[in-house]
Amino acid sequence: MKHRKIEIAILSFMFTVVACGTSHQAKVATKLTTEPKNQQQSVPLTFEQTSQISITSPAVGAFVQPSQDGTVEVAGTANGNSITVNGQVVAVNGGSFSAKIPANFGINVISAKLNQAVGGEAQRAFLYGNFAPSNATIPSGILVRTTAPFYDDHSGDLDDLSVIAKTKLNQLDLLKLIGELPPVSYNFGIGSVDMSVTTVSYAKDKLALDLSPKATGAHINGGLASINIGLKFVLHLGGDYEADAVVAVDTVGFDGDIDAHFDPAAHVPDLNDPFGTNFTIEPGIDASMALPTISLGTIKITTNLKFNGIDDFLTWLANQMKNTIASVVAQGIQQNSANHFALALNEVGLPSSFDLNSFGLPAVLSITDVFDNATSFDDQGATISVTTNLAWPSSPALGPNNPGPSAPGSLVVGSSPTTQFPQATIGVSLAFDVLNQALFAVWGQNGLVRTVLPATNLGVFNLDPVVATPRLPPVMLPTTDGRVTLALGDIEVTTALHTFGFDGPVKVTLSANVDVTLGVDSQNGALVFTLSGTPQVFVDVNDLFGLVPDALLLPLSEALQAFAPTIIENVVKPIEVPLPTMSLNAILGDPHSALGLAPPVQVAIDEPTHRLIVSGDVVLVQK
């Protein structure tokens, strides 16, 4: 029952007015006054408005756990003999009714209508299913599939593991990368030579490196050209002669296998340490490598000594040391190649937070992602599995006006940890449980409350700005015919109505189902979903505050019906959810760049596993 008192002046007589609308009854009563006009005073006038149908259970914004028989009880009051609830004719006894309706996982809408000539209608939505609390993690919430072109697409662009490795190698001092060659002493009978390495350089534009997938990790082969090794040596021959020398090696080829696997306590390398001795222990990918095969080309030494034949002699000596040089190079490649490969893949993941304010949503996603044991390698590529949690930030804590902390959690439909990936350079599979967790986190911090329409003049009346407040989190689900739908339930739409003789607040409730189109943001590589087609909208005008005159009920209802699709569209503006990228910060020292999906992308729905797969080529994106 809703009441509103209005002070008015009644001039001459007693009257009673009864106004009947499709959803409301209104009664007006007052008293006669015969006072002179200049002595007239306002008297209380009460408008009493009663809903024809009121659904009391489930309550507004209800989260309902599954029942054994898959039904939910609907109860309420009605002014009539019978009503129809979701197609069932239900008797009204003593002004009350009760019925059981079947429910599906997700948002369900109850539609109730009086079975009489002048009927009333009501709707109520509820979220049915199992729920994960806001701090729950979702195993294999995200799967990333990489194939041979991700290892090397032979384009030369910075968009694959091979080019990243080459770029990293070209940034480093090769002497530090392959390790210090130990001082060498060689006795040739009448004298001896002591040598130590001072510098190492090579022709960076001729560096060759190729990575390809392997059943247990990756295969690597490549080579360096025009290598120059600076030496400091002392010749002991009738005295001690210090000199500098340059060892020129025309080519160094290498070939080997990297073994990689998931380890719950992986030694994730710190590549700021060129000797590979610093690690962090965390779930991730461990990699190791057997000694690669090293092929050294021709070696030539030149010195600044003025001894006849000394350069030829030292060249002969260096060639005798080929095996030693090859062994040291092999050890450096063995350790650092495995470290680079592991670090690159361990950089695949989500950002720690994702700010949606730039997209018109006052919300921030706080993200946790950890590799899990569904990670695997095969001869076609790698599948990286990540346990995820997407929630609102823990600090500062959400206030009492935010619905998230008191809600049971996000809908869980039980996404499978496996899926079929299409043939593509990279594919990202997201569990619908992750998508719904993200939507719950945005909703939970009031990120979907917004002004959906400006103040509007409709001729018959004016409306103040229209504000929408969803009482349930949106839910995204796959369909059996390969579509993605978004359901919104119990969106409270509030405004104020102004017309001749009436000014008052208005509240109605909307629920909707709409198809979703998915794509990738070319600026940041995030998944974007926007509404498509015409939404199916349910409008309930039973929640009108105050008395809306009978003459305005029909045009107001028609206006709300007309505005409803726009309201729904503005509630869910294009929302973005971050997709995994491979950060280049730890590898190349660039905190703003990463490898991610390049638009346009292919989108596939794996409905049996409740997963969404986005696949395509790889591109360098700015974070």
Percent of the chain residues topping a pLDDT of 70: 84
- Would you say residue 221 lies in a domain? yes
Let me know whether 239 and 317 are in one domain. yes
Per-residue pLDDT band at 339 (split at 50, 70, 90) = confident
Let me know whether 108 and 201 are in one domain. no
Let me know whether 199 and 341 are in one domain. yes
With a cut of 80, say whether residue 256 has pLDDT above it: yes
Per-residue pLDDT band at 280 (split at 50, 70, 90) = confident
- Would you say residue 618 lies in a domain? no
Q: Give the Cα-Cα-Cα angle 166, 376, 419 (nearest 5 degrees).
A: 115
* Mean pLDDT across 193-208: 83
- Would you say residue 360 lies in a domain? no
Per-residue pLDDT band at 135 (split at 50, 70, 90) = very high
Window from 94-98, 336-340, 420-424, 432-436 with minimum mean pLDDT = 336-340
Q: Which of 346, 373, 405 is the last residue of a domain?
A: 346
Let me know whether 77 and 207 are in one domain. no
With a cut of 80, say whether residue 171 has pLDDT above it: no
User: Would you state the pLDDT for residue 269?
Assistant: 59
With a cut of 80, say whether residue 317 has pLDDT above it: no
Let me know whether 75 and 223 are in one domain. no
**82 lies in which domain range?**
53-128
- Global confidence as pTM: 0.81
User: Would you state the pLDDT for residue 268?
Assistant: 67
Non-local (6+) Cβ contacts of 476 within 8 A are 432, 435, 436, 439, 484, 485, 486, 487, 516, 529
User: Would you state the pLDDT for residue 356?
Assistant: 87
Q: Which of 346, 366, 400 is the last residue of a domain?
A: 346
Cβ-contact 143, 384 below 8 angstroms: yes
Q: Which contiguous run of DSSP H or E holds residue 560?
A: helix 550-571
308 Rama class: left (phi>0) / alpha (psi -120 to 50) / beta: beta
Let me know whether 322 and 236 are in one domain. yes
- Over residues 553-572, the pLDDT tens digits come to 667 777 777 888 888 888 87
Window from 57-61, 244-248, 352-356 with minimum mean pLDDT = 244-248
Let me know whether 244 and 205 are in one domain. yes
Could you list the beta-strand ranges (E) of 357-464: 364-371, 376-378, 381-391, 410-412, 426-431, 450-453, 456-457, 462-463
- Would you say residue 408 lies in a domain? no
Of 7 and 523, which is predicted with more confidence?
523
Distance CA 358, CA 356 (A): 5
Let me know whether 207 and 85 are in one domain. no
Q: Give the Cα-Cα-Cα angle 51, 54, 60 (nearest 5 degrees).
A: 125
Let me know whether 318 and 189 are in one domain. yes
Per-residue pLDDT band at 33 (split at 50, 70, 90) = very low
With a cut of 60, say whether residue 61 has pLDDT above it: yes
62-64 and 121-128 strand pairing: parallel
Let me know whether 91 and 228 are in one domain. no
Q: Which of 295, 325, 346 is the last residue of a domain?
A: 346
Q: What is the mean pLDDT of the chain?
A: 81
With a cut of 90, say whether residue 324 has pLDDT above it: no
Window from 93-107, 121-135, 187-201, 429-443 with minimum mean pLDDT = 187-201
- Would you say residue 622 lies in a domain? no
Per-residue pLDDT band at 476 (split at 50, 70, 90) = very high
Distance CA 415, CA 430 (A): 9
Let me know whether 233 and 189 are in one domain. yes
Where residue 109 sits, what CATH number does that domain have?
2.60.40.10
With a cut of 70, say whether residue 76 has pLDDT above it: yes
What are the tokens at 114? 């009086």
Q: How many domains does the chain have?
A: 2
Distance CA 185, CA 538 (A): 89
- Over residues 105-129, the pLDDT tens digits come to 999 999 998 887 666 788 899 999 9
- Would you say residue 124 lies in a domain? yes
- Over residues 600-620, the pLDDT tens digits come to 889 999 999 999 999 999 988
Let me know whether 196 and 342 are in one domain. yes
- Would you say residue 364 lies in a domain? no
- Would you say residue 277 lies in a domain? yes
